[in-house]
């Protein structure tokens, strides 16, 4: 089987396409392993669909299934277009619904899912949290200094709320985000649905405009926009290498 490794702002994925839909959880654990596998935060399988350009199956590196992954939608769209599986403007099925992405060279824009506020704000561990579903659940807290990021604090919040955990600093209407990702069980270099959750919180508090620059741990620049009630997530992706295994 041929696999392609992508990096979407530092959030990395192993991507392949196949006609046969099966449970790829164990394959995700094997291929995402950074010492004995290809190494990635997640695995995505593209499957034919009669209802969209294709359907995807997304797995975190621990083999858990997630409904949505903002960065993976950008990498997958680039992969699908460059492998002749879809046109540059495509719609594909995820467990969070139909996703629309547009590829322009190495920059990809995804229209994200309709966000749902789960908890508006609550105090815990000395922080004010906001819990929102942006395709997957995210806790968000606004901090003055991202050095406040603490693995054990994030792990505690992640398990108590079964959500990804984001710390965001807002400076000159730009967002700087650090994310502990569920299913990776640690900080990733970028998390798309997490950045969108942080943007929405900051927008609610009038800390950013409806179009904002966002910088994750990788410090790569992304843009999030809210236009006519819809959320658009845009940034570059990189095809790292292709390999054949087995
Ligand atoms: N770890 C997430 C899924 C991947 C989200 C992230 N990589 C993104 O870009 O949105 C979860 O299990 O909720």
The ipTM (two decimal places) reads: 0.94
- The Cα angle at residue 76 between residues 71 and 82, in degrees rounded to 5: 135
The alpha carbon of 11 and the centre of ligand 1 are apart by a number of angstroms equal to 9
In the prediction, which pLDDT does 78 show? 98
Structure tokens at 24: 């790829």
Q: Is 49 helix (H, G, I), strand (E, B) or coil?
A: coil
Structure tokens at 85: 């599986």
Extract the annotated binding site: 11, 60, 70-71, 164, 181-182, 192-193
Extract the annotated binding site for substrate: 11, 60, 70-71, 164, 181-182, 192-193
Domains by residue range for the chain, with CATH: 2-110+235-244 (3.10.310.10), 116-233 (3.10.310.10)
Radius of gyration of the chain (CA): 17
Q: Is 154 a catalytic residue?
A: no
Of 32, 154, 191, 198, catalytic: 191
In the prediction, which pLDDT does 246 show? 87
Among 13, 180, 191, residue to substitute to test ligand 1 (most atoms within 8 Å of Cβ): 191
Q: Is 191 a catalytic residue?
A: yes
- Are the C-beta atoms of 138 and 131 separated by less than 8 Å? yes
Contacts of 22 (CB under 8 A, 6+ apart): none
Per-residue exposure over 200-210, b if at least 16 CB sit within 10 Å of its own CB, e if not: bbbbeeebbee
What is the H or E stretch that residue 169 is in? strand 164-171
The alpha carbon of 56 and the centre of ligand 1 are apart by a number of angstroms equal to 14
Structure tokens at 214: 């966002």
Q: Which residue matches tokens 């299913």?
A: 183
Using CB distances shorter than 6 Å, the residues near ligand 1 are 11, 60, 66, 69-71, 136, 164, 181-184, 191-193
d(CA 30, CA 34): 9
Per-residue pLDDT of the chain (246 residues; tens, 9 = 90+): 999 999 999 999 999 999 999 999 999 999 999 999 999 999 999 999 999 999 999 999 999 999 999 999 999 999 999 999 999 999 999 999 999 999 999 999 999 999 999 999 999 999 999 999 999 999 999 999 999 999 999 999 999 999 999 999 999 999 999 999 999 999 999 999 999 999 999 999 999 999 999 999 999 999 999 999 999 999 999 999 999 998
């Amino acid at each position: 089987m041929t696999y392609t490794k992508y990096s979407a702002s530092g959030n990395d994925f192993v991507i392949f396409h196949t006609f046969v839909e099966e449970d790829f959880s164990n394959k995700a654990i094997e291929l995402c392993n950074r010492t004995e596998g290809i190494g990635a935060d997640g695995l995505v399988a593209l499957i034919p669909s009669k209802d969209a350009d294709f359907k995807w199956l997304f797995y975190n590196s621990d083999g858990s299934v997630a409904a949505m992954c903002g960065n993976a939608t950008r990498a997958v769209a680039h992969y699908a277009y460059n492998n002749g599986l879809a046109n540059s403007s495509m719609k594909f099925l995820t467990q969070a619904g139909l996703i629309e992405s547009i590829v322009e060279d190495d920059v990809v824009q995804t229209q994200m899912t309709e966000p749902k506020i789960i908890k508006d704000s609550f105090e815990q561990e000395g922080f004010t949290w906001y819990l929102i579903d942006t395709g997957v659940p995210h806790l968000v807290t606004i901090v003055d200094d991202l050095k406040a990021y603490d693995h054990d604090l994030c792990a505690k919040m992640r398990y108590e709320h079964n959500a990804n955990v984001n710390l965001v600093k807002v400076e000159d209407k730009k967002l700087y985000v650090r994310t502990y990702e569920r299913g990776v069980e640690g900080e990733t270099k970028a998390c798309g649905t997490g950045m969108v959750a942080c943007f929405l919180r900051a927008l609610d508090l009038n800390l950013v405009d409806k179009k904002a620059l966002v910088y994750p741990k990788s410090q790569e620049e992304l843009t999030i926009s809210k236009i006519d009630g819809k959320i658009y997530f845009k940034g570059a992706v990189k095809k790292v290498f292709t390999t054949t295994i087995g």
